[in-house]
């Protein structure tokens, strides 16, 4: 049974296989959705939850893929440790989720700054009224 993946033979992976190209396209679409959904909070929350659920399901996906790899692949990439699926499936999804969290933190900091500025304006108005 040929194995195209081990820590030392990772460069031997056939990146032209259709399912790997499809996976790469999927990751690009997820990143685009992350970028374009930055102003739509509910869509981004749903997207984030989907990413986390997919990462959580990676172990089960690896098991199913290991049993059925001959149907879609030339080589058995899906080892029992899940190293390949972790690198090509879960890691990009986690990076994408991390981008979403960074966007959320940035938005939260901006809202907190706006709130503090508004509080200062209200405080200044009250002070001016007392002086008059």
- pLDDT in the model for residue 10: 56
| Per-residue model confidence (pLDDT) at position 80 | 87
For the entire predicted model, the pTM comes to 0.81
Residue 5, sorted as left (phi over 0), alpha (psi -120 to 50) or beta, turns out to be beta
Q: Along the 132 residues of the chain, how does pLDDT read in single tens digits?
A: 455 544 444 557 888 899 999 999 999 999 999 999 988 999 999 999 999 999 999 999 999 999 999 999 988 889 888 999 999 999 999 999 999 999 999 999 999 999 999 999 999 999 988 887
Which positions ≥6 away from 13 have C-beta within 8 Å?
A: 4, 5, 20, 75, 77, 84
Is-contact 35 107, C-beta < 8 A?
no
Residue 23 to residues 15, 67, 80: CA-CA distances in angstroms?
10, 19, 20
Determine the Cα–Cα distance for residues 60 and 72; give it in Å rounded to an integer: 17
């Amino acid at each position: 049974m040929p194995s195209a993946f081990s820590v030392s033979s990772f460069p031997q992976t056939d990146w032209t296989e259709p399912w790997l190209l499809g996976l790469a396209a999927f990751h690009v679409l997820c990143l685009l959705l992350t970028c374009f959904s930055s102003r739509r909070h509910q869509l981004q929350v749903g997207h984030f939850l989907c990413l986390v659920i997919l990462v959580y399901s990676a172990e089960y996906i690896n098991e199913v893929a290991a049993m059925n790899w001959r149907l879609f692949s030339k080589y058995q990439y899906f080892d029992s440790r899940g190293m390949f699926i972790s690198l090509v499936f879960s890691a990009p999804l986690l990076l994408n989720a991390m981008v979403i969290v960074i966007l959320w933190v940035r938005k939260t900091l901006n809202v907190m700054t706006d709130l503090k500025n508004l509080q200062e304006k209200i405080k200044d108005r009250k002070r001016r009224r007392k002086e008059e």
